[in-house]
Amino acid sequence: MSVVPRLAPRSESVPSAGPTPGLRIRPAVAADAAWLADVSRVSFAPHLHDYLTSAQPGAGRFWEVVLAYPASFPGRCCLVAEADDGDRLGFVDLTLVDPGLAHLSYVCVVRPARGRGVARALLRAYLDRHPDVRAVRLDVFADNAPARALYDRLGFTTESTSTWWVADVTPDWSASSAAARLDGLHAARAWLHTYGFGELTVAIGDTVVRLGRPSARVLRCFEPAALRQPAVVGAVLREFPEIDRVLVMAEGDDAPPSAVGELRAVNRSLRMSAPEIRTRLELT
């Protein structure tokens, strides 16, 4: 990918409203899938990759499905910014989660194009195309300074903070799994094989516990309470001994009670929202 010659530096090129010169914004298409996966993967530090579905080797295949079958992903919108020579510079991915409220999953700009108003223009273009969206929310890593600077400028404020906790686990955990049953094993294996991530369900008595598999080696407990049920983790490890860590996100700074091992913090994320983002971007 060439450097971005036709975009002027931020101070000259980014008006607070209106299009950025030399920039075209269009809906993403299936042919963008591999590029979207590459750009999001390199945006995150390697030590976080095991915890992020977007960093897995099959993420491009997943993007292909999202972009080729939009009716299966209602309310989702991915826009790509490109220079007038056709070089792709960045993208946004948002989903309408409630009437008037969109969740921003990704905003990524290639390194050479940063600081020139591409992210701002992408968000503006999304809101232009979706006049009913009044507010946007998102999750951002606390240590992601450029993203936080962008969100501050757009009027986002923090609603809550979560810590990402991780415990190491070993295959001998499977010994404690007798009472728990892993449902949908075939689907779980197929997802992992195709995309490199997926979800699992464990039934224990009348309780059904949903779990995530953000990568081959990590099991995510969506609810911290699952950490108090070692049989749940054991049932998964019996089938997937390659899993060596359990991840849970919990609001605040305190580690939740854990019966699966000692927890260590790997990161913190902020849930932010901007109820007045249209005003900030001078849109009606």
Cβ–Cβ under 8 Å, residues 168 and 236: no
∠ CA 188-189-194 to the nearest 5 degrees? Answer: 100
Interatomic CA distance for residues 165 and 250, integer angstroms: 8
Residues 6+ apart with CB under 8 A from 235: 174, 177, 180, 181, 182, 202, 204
90: three-class secondary structure by DSSP: strand
Min. distance of Cβ 123 from ligand COA in angstroms? Answer: 8
Judged by beta carbon, residue 28 or residue 107, the one nearer ligand COA is: 107
Judged by beta carbon, residue 126 or residue 173, the one nearer ligand COA is: 126
Token reading at 81 = 């910014």
From candidates 106, 142, 225, 255, binder to ligand COA by CB under 6 A: 106
Q: Are strands 198-204 and 180-183 parallel, antiparallel or unpaired?
A: antiparallel
Cβ–Cβ under 8 Å, residues 237 and 245: no
Min. distance of Cβ 278 from ligand COA in angstroms? Answer: 16
Q: Select the span of 21-29, 107-115, 195-203, 218-226 touching ligand COA (CB under 6 A).
A: 107-115
Binding-site string for ligand COA from residue 21 to residue 60, where x marks contact by CB under 6 A and - marks none = ----------------------x-----------------
Judged by beta carbon, residue 47 or residue 186, the one nearer ligand COA is: 47
Judged by beta carbon, residue 33 or residue 39, the one nearer ligand COA is: 39
Judged by beta carbon, residue 119 or residue 211, the one nearer ligand COA is: 119
From candidates 67, 77, 80, 116, binder to ligand COA by CB under 6 A: 116
Judged by beta carbon, residue 38 or residue 244, the one nearer ligand COA is: 38
Binding-site string for ligand COA from residue 133 to residue 172, where x marks contact by CB under 6 A and - marks none = -------x---x-xx-xx--x-------------------
Q: What is the DSSP letter of 50?
A: G
Min. distance of Cβ 38 from ligand COA in angstroms? Answer: 12
Cβ–Cβ under 8 Å, residues 66 and 78: yes
CA separation, residue 163 to residues 38, 139, 169, 255 (Å): 26, 12, 19, 8
Q: What are phi and psi of 150, to 5 degrees?
A: -60, -50
Q: Select the span of 113-121, 156-164, 197-205, 248-256 touching ligand COA (CB under 6 A).
A: 113-121
Q: Select the span of 28-36, 118-126, 188-196, 231-239 touching ligand COA (CB under 6 A).
A: 118-126
Token reading at 91 = 């993208």
Q: What is the DSSP letter of 31?
A: G
Chain positions contacting ligand COA, by CB under 6 A: 10, 14, 43, 106-109, 114-120, 140, 144, 146-147, 149-150, 153
